[in-house]
Amino acid sequence: MSSSAPKLCVADVSMTFKTPTGAFHALAPVTLSIPQGRFVSLIGPSGCGKSTIFNIIAGLLEPTGGRVLIDGIDATGTIGRVGYMLQKDLLLLWRTVLDNVILGMEIQHVPLRAARERALPLLHRYGLAGFEYLYPNALSGGMRQRAALLRTLLFDTDVILLDEPFGALDAQTKLKMQEWLMQLWSDFSKTVLFVTHDVEESIYLSDEVHVMGTRPGRIIATIPIPLARPRVRGSVLSGEFLAIKERCLELLHLDTTASQAVNEAA
């Protein structure tokens, strides 16, 4: 393992689901290489296989072909290697926020008291002070996402996968959560793979955006985002930002028209 090996490498991963109506080719070979500490987004229309890629990286789904490498070591089909925040917050309703957040540590057999002691300061620092001993039902959507994200972070893996974490939030809360996530990312220096279908969100947050297409799911373009950090809200209106956004939208649009053409030809 050389020090220049990417933190996370998805090598020629493909996926075909067996369905009652026959084989469904969900992912064409997809290759991703993500260096340590990067924030990388995947965008694409719904159904293009974003969650499938995440399930494969997290070891929850055995790919039909290809491998997943973490630090250059084969991690295909092994669980517990990356922090994975699924599309839903999946907070356990019978546990307090504090006890939800330490779930990962608890499963890794960290003694409860030590786990709570580690989690408490983080809850205070990252906007959940006063909510530690409440149950998830008492929380707003934004607060629930915060708890779910802290749970993922506290699992303490270098790589974290976030599947549309802000997809269900209102616009205002979403902006706040983006700032909050940026703060966390710079504090924890994790390697983040982020799924969204909000183009602006992906550009604003990422170092690199992969645009995906459907039928089968594949990466149609990789767009580096050279905007300086720390980023400010205003940069969303800069010419550079808008140019990138236009490019992404165009790619997404091209893909939809292309797949329509394929469908009509078939």
Q: Is 48 in the site for ligand ADP (CB under 6 A)?
A: yes
Q: Is 50 in the site for ligand ADP (CB under 6 A)?
A: yes
To ligand ADP, the closest distance from the beta carbon of 99 in angstroms equals 29
To ligand ADP, the closest distance from the beta carbon of 235 in angstroms equals 27
Q: Is 108 in the site for another protein (CB under 8 A)?
A: yes
The option from Mg ion, another protein, ligand ADP, none interacting with 41 (CB < 5 to 8 A, set by class) reads: none
Instruction: Please identify, using beta-carbon distances, which residue of 133 and 172 lies nearer to another protein.
Output: 133
Report the site for another protein in 178-207 (rule: CB under 8 A). Answer: none
| Cis amide linkage into residue 230, ω under 30° from 0 | yes
Q: How many residues bind ligand ADP (CB under 6 A)?
A: 11
Q: Is 60 in the site for ligand ADP (CB under 6 A)?
A: no
Q: Is 26 in the site for ligand ADP (CB under 6 A)?
A: yes
Contacts of 50-56 with CB under 8 Å at 24 or more apart are 50/163, 50/195, 50/212, 50/217, 51/87, 51/163, 51/195, 52/15, 52/26, 52/27, 52/217, 53/10, 53/13, 53/27, 53/217, 54/84, 54/161, 54/163, 54/193, 54/195, 56/10, 56/13, 56/15
CB 82 within 8 A of CB 159: yes
Which of these segments, 28-36, 41-49, 73-81, 216-224, binds another protein (CB under 8 A)? 73-81
**CA 26-258-66 angle, 5° bins:** 30
Which of these segments, 46-54, 63-71, 89-97, 182-190, binds ligand ADP (CB under 6 A)? 46-54
Contact pattern from residue 19 through residue 58 relative to another protein, giving x for each residue in contact according to CB under 8 A and a dash for the rest:
------------------------------------x--x
**CB contact set of 183 (below 8 Å; sequence gap of 6+):** 126
Q: In the set 26, 103, 153, 169, which binds another protein (CB under 8 A)?
A: 103
Instruction: Record the tokens describing residue 2, joined without a space.
Output: 């050389």
Q: Is 80 in the site for another protein (CB under 8 A)?
A: yes
CB 85 within 8 A of CB 37: no
